[in-house]
Structure 1
Amino acid sequence: EIVKFLIGRGTDINAECPFFGDALQISIRETDKEMINLLLDSGANINAHRPGVCCTALQTAASIPPLPGVISVLELLLDRGADINAIGGNRGTALATAARLGINGEEHVRILLRRGAFANLHGGPQARYVTPLHAAIVCRLGPPGSGAGYGHEPVVRMLVDAGARV
């Protein structure tokens, strides 16, 4: 109710907090679909580019391990017009962001590819990962020092099957 009150009073729903992004990104991290819809219905910019690690709403959703509600939030953003191939931040694209999660990003990657994400899209000048395939190969499968290796074969295979250049 307080958010509806503030929106009614003319608050800038696209205002950004330097540490947490905008209200939409915060709602995505909380997997609050009701709030996401309220913000979008009230004019939140679904394709705004914010400085930082995950600079778009879709990159934010793609960065969250598969906790309850995350996949439905990813689908909601795509249904509401999120640019699936937007480039920015140090993760590059939503697909590279999801591929970086390895086993935790399999469903994210599957959805993004099915919905039209480009498997070869370069992540831009600030990206840590040149392409989604690069992100999938260099992802750690465990915490540093755990002895876990790099890469996640199912995600790598999905990307190659989708046309990623090897």
Structure 2
Amino acid sequence: MLDSVNTSQPDLNASTKALLSSDYELNGTINRAASEGAKFALMVAMLEQNCMHRPHLDATKEIDQIAEVTSDLNYYRSNPLSANDAYWQTCQHTSQLIYSGQLHSAQLWLAMHPEPLSQYNKPDAINEDVIANCSVNTQTRMQQAKEKVINIDETGLYDILQELEPISTQAIYNVS
């Protein structure tokens, strides 16, 4: 007699739907019985104990479409992180287009030559002019943050231990 749950049957394609419909976990019977205690216990007990005989779904092969999609979608230049000498020339051209009233041309120009995200590629640096325009509380907080910078010296621990060693040897001699 053929086991209807065994996936190693020769006619696998014909019995795939039968396998999935006969398994209580895959067809959702256990999920629906979860709120009913006795029925849930019965369904779990009726599951095939040997997991090798239970139907399983093979993982689909992943096709690396992400690289193809991103290269197709990102045909515009990305924004540079910091401004360089070439940016200042394009910036002047952009301002000339806007000044002359050619807004559509300026938008096209900016799409072809995106502006940098910042003047310098330093995420922790804030320009002094920006700090000067902040409130007094913010300025004092930023000044205190600069003063609290601690220089870490990994070899300092060895020096501290060397200073403590004579004290510890004296304590040992005093106890003895």
Q: TM-score, normalised by structure 1?
A: 0.23
* Bigger radius of gyration: 2
Q: TM-score, normalised by structure 2?
A: 0.22
